[in-house]
Amino acid sequence: MRMRPTLSWTPVEGLPPGTTDPGPVVDALGAGGVLVLSGAGLSTESGIPDYRGEGGSLSRHTPMTYQDFTSSARARRRYWARSHLGWRTFGRARPNAGHRSVAAFGRHGLLSGVITQNVDGLHQAGGSEGVVELHGSLDRVVCLSCGTFSARRDLARRLEEANPGFAPVAAGINPDGDADLTDEQVGDFRVVPCAVCGGVLKPDVVFFGEAVPPARVEHCRELVRGATSLLVLGSSLTVMSGLRFVRQAAQAGKPVLIVNRDPTRGDRHAVTRVALPLGATLTTVAAHLGIPVGDRAGS
């Protein structure tokens, strides 16, 4: 029997309380060798909602699972209709102060790496280099039959041509780029096949219920082994995909620091959780370190 993926987590009693003191984060970054692990909360200030925070998308939206996508043509039609519409908005999102701060820390040699659970590409747009996209990226598409990769912009053009005039009004946008549409709004949306072999196209992202490629996981574990400390930004750590790296760092005696307004599943492994907004907090941390955070990537 297939199990549904873990989508929620209820905080338990006994978790250490959050703090409003970013001092430990300043100290960790000042020492260098920090590995960043970011989640959807880092992109909320760019207009992309997170999954589980206040007003998070899981309150109204169940993300597509790998099992549903691969087993149902109807599910794929619904996904691509919603994702095609969402891509128009998602693609216009711009990096915020949090992304730019991470990039500034990297430029000043304070980071050993960046792992993101996000699929929005905003770390790179903000100026970060060498980002490991744990769950892939929405700007790529892969064929499940022949394995050919292609650019999302090319698929967007083909979908526009196949669905002229498709412009329903969505109720919202989700962290996976999926717009909220009713079945009536999806209608008879036409899905296009792989241009090479005619196979099924899938965004190059890890759906809920799908495993992260083992080589990518091992690369991330190697980054944890080489880091001095782990800094978690904007993640509830509900799913094991990110939590495993927190546990690995803690078991190795490496300090884990979290900046997230709400309690996380990793709090018991952390030396501190700063319960403040990410953009302002990271900008403050940068100021303490004498690092300017530009308004544009690379500035």
Copy the structure tokens of residue 212: 């992260």
Say if residue 100 is in the same domain as residue 247. Answer: yes
pLDDT digits (tens, 9 = 90+) for 146-178: 999 999 999 999 999 999 999 887 767 776 777
Tell me, what's the pLDDT at 85? 87
Say if residue 150 is in the same domain as residue 259. Answer: no
Say if residue 41 is in the same domain as residue 103. Answer: yes
Say if residue 275 is in the same domain as residue 242. Answer: yes
- 24 falls within a domain: yes
Tell me, what's the pLDDT at 1? 31
- 12 falls within a domain: no
Say if residue 220 is in the same domain as residue 75. Answer: no
- Consecutive 10-residue averages of pLDDT for the chain (299 residues): 46 79 98 97 88 47 84 94 85 92 98 96 96 96 97 95 88 73 89 97 92 96 98 94 97 98 95 96 97 64
Is there a catalytic annotation at residue 123?
no
Say if residue 112 is in the same domain as residue 180. Answer: no
Say if residue 293 is in the same domain as residue 220. Answer: yes
Sheet-wide strand order for 201-205: 149-151, 136-143, 201-205
Copy the structure tokens of residue 61: 């939206």
- 216 falls within a domain: yes
User: How far from the centroid of its chain's Cα atoms is residue 257's Cα?
Assistant: 18
Q: What percent of the chain has pLDDT over 90?
A: 73
DSSP-assigned states of every residue in the chain: -PPPPP---PPPTTPPPPBS--HHHHHHHHH--EEEEE-GGGGGGGT---SSSTT-GGGT-PPPBHHHHHH-HHHHHHHHHHHHHHHHHHTT----HHHHHHHHHHHTT-EEEEEE---S-HHHHTT--S-EETTEEEEEEEETTT--EEEHHHHHHHHHHHSTT--PPPS-B-TTS-B---HHHHTTPPPP--TTT---EEEEE--BT-PPPHHHHHHHHHHHHH-SEEEEES----SHHHHHHHHHHHHTT--EEEE-SS--TTGGG-SEEE-S-HHHHHHHHHHHTT----SSTT-
Tell me, what's the pLDDT at 12? 62
Say if residue 178 is in the same domain as residue 287. Answer: no
Say if residue 106 is in the same domain as residue 242. Answer: yes
Say if residue 35 is in the same domain as residue 102. Answer: yes
Residue-number span of the structural domain to which 146 is assigned: 59-92+139-205
Say if residue 171 is in the same domain as residue 238. Answer: no
Residue where a domain stops, chosen among 162, 185, 205: 205
Name the domain count of the chain.
2
- 2 falls within a domain: no
We report the CATH number of the domain holding residue 183 as 3.30.1600
pLDDT digits (tens, 9 = 90+) for 215-251: 999 999 999 999 999 999 999 999 899 999 999 999 9
Say if residue 197 is in the same domain as residue 174. Answer: yes
The catalytic position among 61, 84, 123, 135 is 135
Tell me, what's the pLDDT at 255? 98
Tell me, what's the pLDDT at 89? 73
Tell me, what's the pLDDT at 8? 56
